[in-house]
Amino acid sequence: MPRIVGIDIPDNKVIWISLTYIPGIGRHTSELILKEARIERATKANKLSEDELSRITQIIDRNYIVGGQLRRQVAQNIARLRDIACYRGMRHRRGLPVRGQCTQSNARTRKGPRKTVAGKKGVKEKR
């Protein structure tokens, strides 16, 4: 398995799909990287030479934020929103949807499993 920027990419797939296993690199970005490195997209990952792997690694290091660094940056952005107590930060803090979705009947992924609240039993009026 070739190792690029600390991630083992699958060697039995074509390289433009294999690069998408790196967090922060999707299909479009993968195509751009291969075009800049002058590598054919249909090449299998296990057929790459050391020179080609180093070219890909240099391009990713120079131009893209990937992996742990990307996760850290996203976590810092969320922490900043929480600290300034803006609307989005408050939604993150409460564990509710952040981007305006309806929460009355949906949002179970974000809110977690239902917490059933026992309702009051009605006192029946006697006649």
Distance of CA 110 to the CA centre of its chain: 16
Predicted TM-score (pTM) of the model is: 0.73
- In sequence order, what are the residues at sequence separation of 6 or more whose Cβ sits closer than 8 angstroms to the Cβ of residue 96? 103, 107, 110, 111
Domain boundaries, the chain: 3-63, 73-127
> How many Å apart are CA 118 and CA 68, to the nearest integer?
44
Nearest CA to 10 out of 59, 37, 46 is that of: 46
Residue ranges in the chain whose pLDDT is less than 50: none
Supply the Cα-derived Rg of the chain in whole angstroms: 24
pLDDT of residue 119: 78
Alpha helices in the chain (DSSP H): 15-18, 27-37, 50-63, 67-83, 87-94, 108-111
Quickly name the fold that domain 73-127 has: 30s ribosomal protein s13; domain 2 (4.10.910)
Residue 111 phi/psi, 5° resolution? -85, -20
pLDDT tens, 64-83? 999 889 999 999 999 999 99
The CATH code for residues 3-63 is 1.10.8.50
